[in-house]
Amino acid sequence: MNATIRTEGLVKRFGRTEALSGVELSVPAGAIYALVGANGAGKTTLIKVVMNLLEATAGRAEVLGMDSHRIRGKALNRIGYVSENQEYPEWMTVAAMLEYIRPFYPGWDRELERHLVRQFELPLGRKLKHLSRGMRMKAAMASALAFRPALLVLDEPFSGLDPLVRDELMEGLLDRSPETAIFLSSHDLTEIESFSSHVGFLEQGRLLFSEEMGALSQRFREVTVTLGGEEPARERLPEDWLQYEASNSVVRFVHSACRGEGTAAELREMFPSAREIEMEPMPLRSIFVAIARERRSQRVGAAAVKEGSRA
């Protein structure tokens, strides 16, 4: 399958700070790919490198089959970009902005533009500087969708928006899929869950995983084992068990490699005294919290080992 975006060993350093550390990413054609991660994880940097707004220190990125260095000028006829931090031509009215940008795109669809203006209820006569944040994002989104881009890149598009505006924007985006592949970053997991087809998790410049949303949901289960007797002693936990907690009669953990009935059978074998084994699906938010906590505890553990070896 052709990838809309592909990166290979992408590294970006700002002085001594490594914002991206060898990111390998592939966004399938037609996907709605959500790049998630905490603030400062490197999402915006990755997007800017992909969009040729920043130059990578090492590695390469390919967008719509072309090297990201070539994304400028006419190449942007096929790529829309909206960011929460963009400096818009605030002196323009919405109508003037659309009128100005329209001739830049050979594929601009006037009918779609009118539809988006109606759908987003854009006040055409008002200057951008007088619009609310949500309304400005809608105007930006309309200008980025009306030329039917092959790829739409969104950097934190829903950040700080009220739920109604957020839903309207999502609706507008979903209308354009799969004609338009969407690559967006967000740290709000709830909004992503119902919207994205693929998800990638970026932490401290590293892509921890990147996969299809359905597969991810299938893979993670919150496991609760109610024990009838004593839990067998374990020297080492399986690597795909996260946030393992055990009390006298209950063991809880997050299974990150669940394979349905096969896993259930395995767990019954591992907990022979179990009276009950529950495997609950997890919301995206819980999955990421589990991963993030696990990573943090690993880092703390590694630091302690390092400190101990020094001592």
* Choices 19-27, 78-86, 163-171, 230-238; region in contact with another protein by CB under 8 A: 78-86
Identify which range of 6-14, 74-82, 160-168, 172-180 contacts another protein by CB under 8 A.
Answer: 74-82
**Amino acid in position 95:** A
Contact between 72 and another protein (CB under 8 A)? yes
User: Which residue from 14, 58, 66, 100 is in contact with another protein, where contact means CB under 8 A?
Assistant: 100
**15 near another protein, rule: CB under 8 A:** no
Query: Quick one: which of 15, 16, 17, 103 contacts another protein (CB under 8 A)?
Result: 103
Among 15, 16, 17, 74, binds another protein (CB under 8 A): 74
The verdict on 116 binding another protein (CB under 8 A) reads no
Residue 22: partners with Cβ closer than 8 Å, 6 or more residues away: 9, 10, 11, 59, 206
User: Counting contacts by CB under 8 A, is residue 77 touching another protein?
Assistant: yes
Residues within window 128-157 making contact with another protein, judged by CB under 8 A: 140
Interaction of residue 88 with another protein, rule CB under 8 A: yes
User: How many residues sit close enough to another protein to count as binding (CB under 8 A)?
Assistant: 27
| 87 Cβ contact list (under 8 Å, min separation 6) | none
Query: What is the per-residue binding string for another protein in 22-51, x denoting contact by CB under 8 A?
Result: --------------------------x--x
Q: Which stretch binds another protein (CB under 8 A): 11-19, 31-39, 88-96, 245-253?
A: 88-96
Kindly state the tokens that stand for 32: 């709605």
Contact 202, 35 (CB under 8 A): yes
At 154 the three-state DSSP class reads strand
> Sign of torsion, CA 101 103 104 108?
positive
* Four-residue CA torsion sign, 54, 60, 64, 68: positive
Q: Rule CB under 8 A: which of 234-273 touch another protein?
A: none
Q: Does 85 bind another protein (CB under 8 A)?
A: yes
- Residue 105 interacts with another protein (CB under 8 A): yes or no: yes
Q: Which long-range contacts (CB under 8 A, 24 or more apart) does 44-48 make?
A: 44/83, 44/85, 44/155, 44/156, 44/185, 45/12, 45/19, 45/20, 45/205, 46/7, 46/10, 46/12, 46/20, 46/185, 46/202, 47/83, 47/153, 47/155, 47/183, 47/185
Where do contacts with another protein occur on this chain (CB under 8 A)? 48, 51, 53-55, 72-77, 79-81, 83, 85-89, 91, 100-101, 103-105, 140
